[in-house]
Structures are given as structure tokens and as C-alpha cells.
């Protein structure tokens, strides 16, 4: 029977200077991977949340250099489930996500309060197309 290990906490510094402060687990044949709660920081880019086998998965918040921010559910490093994305200009989208794109029931609201509500599909909503940033973690 394989021995089940408990995740251990620590602070790790990557070759490019980015850091991870949180839980890791040593997986047989895969090595040390982020697992559980943790914070990854690469300059102004930051992810606070859940990790599963070195991927952002579960609940978390990702903040980009320019001020864009996503808070919600992740699966395999992508927005997946329910979440809120805020653009640097203050506009927000709250609702469903699938594979990193607005998808399902949601609401887009501009900084002046104008709103669109309805079904979003593959990143597009009712008379609305607005790109979102992709969360990327750089360790090299």
C-alpha cells in the first residue's frame, strides 16, 4: 500500500525570483508540487488560493500587473465555474466561466453602471465582446 503523505508548508523561490508560500506535496513520479492553499507572487502578478497537483484549482484570486483581477473558481489553471472579473477601467463581469471564458448566466457592468445581463457563450454576451487576460504563472 502506498504511504499517504500530508502536505507540508514552506516558502519557495523560483529561478526568476517569483515565490510560492503555501502547501506542497511530494508526489511519486511527479515530484514536489503545489497542493492545498498557497500564494504565488511574480512581481505585481499574484495568485492566492487553492492548488491541485501544481495547478490553480478550486477557489482563488488572480491579480495582474495592470490592475485586472479575477476572484472565483478555477480548474486546471483556467477560470471555470462562477467568478468575477474586474478590468482596470472598473468594469466587471460576474457569472459563469468555462475554460477561461465568460460562459453561462452572467452580468457585465461598466464603470458608469450600464449593465448587460443574460447568457454568455464562449466569451461573448448580449451585444458584448470584451477580451479577458489569461492567468499565467512564470517560474523561469
In tens, the pLDDT along 121-133 reads: 888 876 666 667 7
Burial class from Cβ neighbours inside 10 Å (0-12, 13-18, 19+) for residue 96 reads buried
pLDDT at 31: 87
The sign of the CA dihedral 65, 44, 112, 119 is: positive
pTM of the model: 0.86
Looking at the DSSP bridge assignments, the partners of residue 36 are 51
Average pLDDT over residues 31-59: 95
Cα 84 to its chain centre, rounded Å, is: 11
**Does residue 40 register a pLDDT over 90?**
yes
pLDDT mean over 111-116: 89
Under a CB-based contact definition with an 8 Å cutoff, are residues 82 and 58 in contact?
no
pLDDT score recorded for residue 78: 95
Instruction: Give CA torsion, residues 94, 99, 103, 104, to 10 deg.
Output: -90
Q: Where is average pLDDT lowest: 19-23, 39-43, 93-97, 132-136?
A: 132-136
Res 87 pLDDT > 90: yes
Number of C-alpha atoms within 13 angstroms, CB side, residue 10? 12
Tens-digit pLDDT profile for residues 23-33: 999 888 888 89
Amino acid at each position: 500500500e502506498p504511504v499517504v503523505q500530508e502536505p507540508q508548508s514552506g516558502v519557495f523561490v523560483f529561478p526568476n525570483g517569483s515565490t510560492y508560500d503555501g502547501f506542497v506535496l511530494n508526489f511519486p513520479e511527479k515530484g514536489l508540487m503545489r497542493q492545498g492553499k498557497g500564494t504565488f507572487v511574480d512581481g505585481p502578478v499574484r495568485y492566492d488560493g487553492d492548488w491541485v497537483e501544481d495547478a490553480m484549482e478550486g477557489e482563488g484570486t488572480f491579480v495582474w500587473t495592470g490592475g485586472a483581477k479575477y476572484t472565483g473558481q478555477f480548474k486546471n489553471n483556467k477560470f471555470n465555474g462562477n467568478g468575477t472579473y474586474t478590468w482596470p477601467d472598473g468594469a466587471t463581469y460576474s457569472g459563469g466561466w468555462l475554460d477561461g471564458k465568460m460562459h453561462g448566466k452572467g452580468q457585465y457592468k461598466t464603470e458608469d453602471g450600464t449593465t448587460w445581463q443574460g447568457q454568455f457563450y464562449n466569451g461573448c454576451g448580449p451585444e458584448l465582446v470584451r477580451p479577458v487576460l489569461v492567468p499565467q504563472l512564470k517560474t523561469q
